[in-house]
Every structure is written in structure tokens, then in C-alpha cells.
């Protein structure tokens, strides 16, 4: 074929696939990255990870495509022209790339268990005195007020929730979502409200000690959207669904939700979990650096702990002095 009148551009295929994401590959095992995306309202951390995961594949596919163009142009006696435009050819290949590994990985992923904290702490029974920090009636009132329920509405269910969450904890709404649906990718224009309806899963969970309870209420309620109160459940220690209850992924499917950009006048308190999470991250970091922190009660983040048989009995870390009383 005489290609003398063709431009070098016509040797670059109209569409190129620089990536192929295996159908079994998804982000389900990367809820830590999902959590970071939610925190930062951006997919950047996943783009960075994807860049590492697919860099080699991209390089191979790019080289193969370039080699093929070089071969065809050389056959037509246009090797010099190929050499001359080498850089532009590779730019054009990128431009004509039709695959986005991040998109594919998200498409292959399943929903994630998330919770929206209402920023309300319910006191539990203290182990020694066997009394609650607040009366049961007060705890029920706090739940009702946070859920904007009238007196008498779902009283039995709320009493069930409060009584069974005997260690107290944070009031949360659990729901399932594709994590990327909770991003606006714009720090200056975040969602303004989040609405929950359907059969809404309401829980009181204590992530510090690992306990909690949940109920389902057929309510329809809209809260101001506060990103700091939104969490990937598995990334909070203890996670309620996974570590505390061992539930299957679909357990909170019955909660329906929608975000909106409509302005909201109401406020909700900030969850204390953000602070807890930062603390956990700091403890983990110290541990990975070979050290430990006094006051970190997670036994696994200390080394060479030993048992003291004298009063008061318990275990002690020789490095930082943290003591676990029996």
C-alpha cells in the first residue's frame, strides 16, 4: 500500500488500550485507600496506587505500540520520519488511550460498609459500680433527639438499643455505598446534606472497647453533611460490622441514602472517632518504628510484655511501662 500521502499520525491506532484490569481485581481489599479518599474528598491516593500497580503494564503496552508503529513506518521507508516524531507519537498514544484502570477497579468493586456518626455519645454501665453514667431515660432521650423523633415514636426500639448497648458508645447510622459516590472531588464544594431513609440501621457502637448494638427504624431523616463524621467501618478499630459482630457485607443494605448540595441550617456535633483514629495511626507508626507508646492499651503494639504476680497482678511492658491490670 502506498502511504506516501499519509501523515505520521495515521500510523497511531485511533484507540489504544494501555491498561488491562483483570476482572478479579478490585478495591475491596483496599478499604484503607477508600477511607483516605473519603477523608480527602479525592481519588488521588488511589490514582497514586494505580500508577504503581500498572506502571509496568503501561510501559509494556506503550513499547509494543511504538514498536509496531516503527515497524510499519520502516516498511514504508519512513523510518527517518518515525525517529523525528518519536516523542509526539508517544504523546498521541497517551492521548488515544481509552482505558482508565482506576475506573475499572472501582467498577469491579462491591459496596463498602460505612457509618455516619451523629456525634452523640451514649454513656454505658461502668463495670465496678454497675451504674450508668446517665439514666436510661436520658440515653433514650439523646437518641430520640439526634434522630428528631417525637416522644413515643419507636420508644420500644430505642429502649432495646440503649439496653443492649450496655457499654454505651457513639450513635451511628450504618449504610452501604460505593465509596466514590461520596466524593465531590472538590474541596470547596462538598455535599451539604445526607438523607437516610428506607429501613435505617441505627447503632450505638463503642469502637474503643469493641461493643455495640443495632436496630432498624423506618425513618426518613436528613442531616447536614459533615465529612469528618463519615467513616469506612473496617478502618475504625474496633470496627462494628467486622470485628465486633462479624456480619456479612450486605448487613446494612436496607438503609437508603442520598447526598445533596442543598444548603442546610442544622448542625451535628463532630464525631470523636477522628481523634481516636489519629491516635491509633500514631500508635501504629511508633510500633512499626520498633518502639511503643505508654498508654496504648493494644497489647499487640508492645514487645516483651511480662506478667507480674504480685498485687496488683497484671502484665507490663518493659519498654514504655504500660500496665494491664488483671
Residues making contact with Zn ion (CB under 5 A) = 23, 292, 302, 317, 319-320, 322
Residue number with CB closer to Zn ion (16 or 317): 317
Q: How far is the CB of 320 from Zn ion (least distance, A)?
A: 3
Q: How far is the CB of 292 from Zn ion (least distance, A)?
A: 3
Length of the chain: 326
Residue number with CB closer to Zn ion (259 or 298): 298
Q: How far is the CB of 193 from Zn ion (least distance, A)?
A: 33
Residue number with CB closer to Zn ion (18 or 162): 18
Q: How far is the CB of 295 from Zn ion (least distance, A)?
A: 9
Residue number with CB closer to Zn ion (77 or 295): 295
Residue number with CB closer to Zn ion (106 or 122): 106
Q: How far is the CB of 216 from Zn ion (least distance, A)?
A: 34
Q: How far is the CB of 302 from Zn ion (least distance, A)?
A: 4
d(CA 285, CA 242): 23
Residue number with CB closer to Zn ion (178 or 247): 178
Q: Are residues 125 and 132 in contact, defined by beta-carbon separation less than 8 angstroms?
A: yes
Residue number with CB closer to Zn ion (111 or 320): 320
Q: How far is the CB of 46 from Zn ion (least distance, A)?
A: 16
Q: How far is the CB of 125 from Zn ion (least distance, A)?
A: 30
Q: Which residues are CB-contacts of 51 (< 8 A; sequence separation ≥ 6)?
A: none
Residue number with CB closer to Zn ion (247 or 320): 320
Q: How far is CA 196 from the centre of its chain?
A: 19
**C-alpha torsion 50→275→176→200, nearest 10:** -170
Could you write out the three-class secondary structure of the chain?
Answer: CCCCCCCHHHHCCCCECCCCCCCCCCCCCCHHHHHHHHHHCCCHHHHHHHHHHHHHHHHHHHHHHHHHHHHHHHHCCCHHHHHHCHHHHHHHHHHCECCCHHHHHHHHCCCEEEEEEEEEEECCECCCCCCECCCHHHHHHHHHHHCCCCCCCCHHHHHHHHHHCCCCEEEEEEEEECHHHHCCCCCCCCCCEEEEEECEEEEEEECCCCEEEEEEECCCEEEECCHHHEEEHHHCCCCHHHHHCCCCHHHHCCEEEEEECCCCCCCCCCCCHHHHHHHHHHHHHHHHCCCCCCCCCCHHHCCCCEEECCCCCEEECCCCCCEEEC
Q: How far is the CB of 303 from Zn ion (least distance, A)?
A: 7
Residue number with CB closer to Zn ion (24 or 265): 24
Amino acid at each position: 500500500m502506498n502511504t506516501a500521502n499519509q501523515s505520521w499520525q495515521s500510523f497511531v491506532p485511533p484507540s489504544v488500550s494501555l491498561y488491562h484490569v483483570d476482572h478479579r481485581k478490585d478495591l475491596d481489599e483496599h478499604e484503607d485507600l477508600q477511607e483516605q479518599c473519603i477523608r480527602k474528598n479525592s481519588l488521588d491516593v488511589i490514582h497514586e496506587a494505580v500508577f504503581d500497580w500498572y506502571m509496568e503494564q503501561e510501559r509494556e503496552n506503550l513499547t509494543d505500540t511504538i514498536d509496531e508503529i516503527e515497524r510499519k513506518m520502516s516498511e514504508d521507508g519512513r523510518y527517518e520520519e518515525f525517529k523525528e516524531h518519536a516523542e509526539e507519537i508517544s504523546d498521541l498514544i497517551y492521548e488515544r488511550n481509552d482505558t482508565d484502570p482506576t475506573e475499572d477497579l472501582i467498577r469491579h468493586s462491591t459496596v463498602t460498609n460505612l457509618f455516619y456518626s451523629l456525634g452523640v455519645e451514649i454513656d454505658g454501665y461502668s463495670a465496678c459500680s454497675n451504674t450508668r453514667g446517665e439514666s436510661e431515660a436520658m440515653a433514650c432521650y439523646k437518641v430520640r433527639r439526634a434522630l428528631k423523633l417525637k416522644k413515643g415514636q419507636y420508644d420500644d426500639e430505642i429502649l432495646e438499643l440503649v439496653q443492649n448497648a450496655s457499654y454505651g458508645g457513639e450513635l451511628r447510622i450504618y449504610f452501604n455505598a460505593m465509596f466514590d459516590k461520596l466524593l465531590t472531588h472538590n474541596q470547596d464544594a462538598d455535599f451539604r446534606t445526607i438523607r437516610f431513609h428506607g429501613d435505617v440501621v441505627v447503632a450505638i457502637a463503642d469502637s474503643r472497647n469493641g461493643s455495640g448494638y443495632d436496630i432498624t427504624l423506618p425513618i426518613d431523616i436528613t442531616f447536614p453533611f459533615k465529612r469528618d463524621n463519615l467513616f469506612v467501618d473496617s478502618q475504625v478499630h474496633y470496627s462494628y460490622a467486622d470485628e465486633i459482630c462479624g456480619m456479612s457485607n450486605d448487613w446494612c443494605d436496607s438503609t437508603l441514602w442520598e447526598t445533596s448540595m442543598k444548603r442546610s441550617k442544622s448542625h451535628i456535633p463532630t464525631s470523636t472517632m477522628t481523634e481516636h483514629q489519629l491516635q491509633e495511626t500514631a500508635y501504629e507508626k511508633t510500633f512499626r518504628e520498633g518502639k511503643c507508646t505508654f498508654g496504648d492499651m493494644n497489647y499487640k503494639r508492645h514487645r516483651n510484655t511480662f506478667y507480674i504476680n504480685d498485687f496488683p497482678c497484671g502484665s507490663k511492658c518493659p519498654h514504655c511501662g504500660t500496665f494491664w491490670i488483671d
